[in-house]
A and B are shown apart, each in its own frame.
Chain A
Amino acid sequence: MKKILMFLLITLSLKAAQLGVNEHQGAMVPLDLTFINEKGEKVTLKKLMDGKPTMISLNYFRCAGICGPQFEDMAKMLSQLKLAENIDYKALTISFAEDETPALAAAKRKTYLGAIERPFVQDAWHFLISDNNSSAKLSKIVGFTYQKEVSKAGVVDYIHPAALIMLSPEGKVTRYLNGINQLPFDVKMALLEAGEGKIGPTIAKRLLFCFAYDPKGKTYVFKWEKITGIVMTLMMLAFFIYLVVTTKRDDDNNPDHQN
């Protein structure tokens, strides 16, 4: 309940401020962007992604608003996500605030990795801060907008949306999953899409064939029409084969017959 209210509040203020996520599907994020990781090391996006489809959340670590709920949901989702972390995908939480520290990033990471309910390869989810304005650049490319707000007491806060942005291994933006709550199935399908079917178990790849993203419902739906079409086509082809087979059978049984 509290979460929903908070979400509504944020959304309303976002709308008021005309902020939000402007989807730039197909945009290319340069892989040589650098970020600072929890240990204070400068790393390129390329190294962080390690050639895998990557989900990116843009937040800031001092956020008292929706980031917390988003991280909690991510932890829950990652627990249930039926893909091999660090092998099939990477997760990056990147701060867009200009003044965060590696220590804070490390602390947040510890908290939420700890919230994952199963053994989880730690290297799969990193918390990063901006290096030389890289977060701002990344946010601009993917269409993620945010607004700085300084309170009367001088406290700096940001109004921002919540989303998971999927990147292909080459850095192409392939899908946006908006909101705080994400179904593990939707994330799985989005990652499979981003990986162009090159990751995941074979059964999972077949799923890409049968599911499509429904932008209105904001979830992946089973493409029953596609399946129905294939079934009906196969039935039609079976009819043609039947014609050929009965012709052959007819010829064999009755070489001189009349029609």
Chain B
Amino acid sequence: MSHEYVPEIATDRDGNEHEVQGWQDDFYGGKLGFWLFMLTEVMMFGGMFLSLAYYNTLHPHDFLEASASLNRWLGGTNTVILLVSALTMGLGLLRMRTGDVKGAKLMIWATILLALIFLGIKAVEWNAEYHHGIFLMHDQMLPESSMAFGKKLFFGMYFTMTGLHGFHIMIGIGLMLWLIKRINSEKVTQDHHILYWNIALYWDIVHLIWVFVFPYFYMIGAGDVVAGGGHHGH
């Protein structure tokens, strides 16, 4: 359908011809649409950052302490992993545009692998927090526990935001698997790869969110700000 589309021509009163942009085969429109959709994702996480910043101003010390107790090595590794995965996704797109379909698919698989490792490390982190008594509806996070308000709020938002972010990673993996399927059935090709473009953009936005999540949760407690500094390694 989109491959056989022939655009209409409109003629003005002076006889000049103008090509009509139809809804089919609108590469620019497809990009614009997806950028707008990504704006909504930014607004969603933005709302959460707003709430986080509000509670931070109310409990600055608790936030620093709680942040220091997170594992910066694991978080930092995850940041590098996502960075590399954004690279692999972008490289794959470039290969698709030059016609190297096999290479493009390889890059997508690499991205999926990196995403899975990210989720694995996240699971390790959450597991460690669970064993420290810090998890939703558990032990320290219950209203009766003695943990300070600021820390409860910090961790409440930590699980919410890393959880929703992880959920978006999973969606991303699903989208990439679907993309490979579409490439295999030749619906996505060198000449028609708007889907690949948009999924790569999606992945970039997911990474962008993490670029804000990581420093806000992990890095604010770094250094000698908190007595004893550093972190607990697990």
* A and B directly contacting (CB within 8 A): no
Interface of B with A (CB < 8 Å)?
Answer: none
Interface of A with B (CB < 8 Å)?
Answer: none
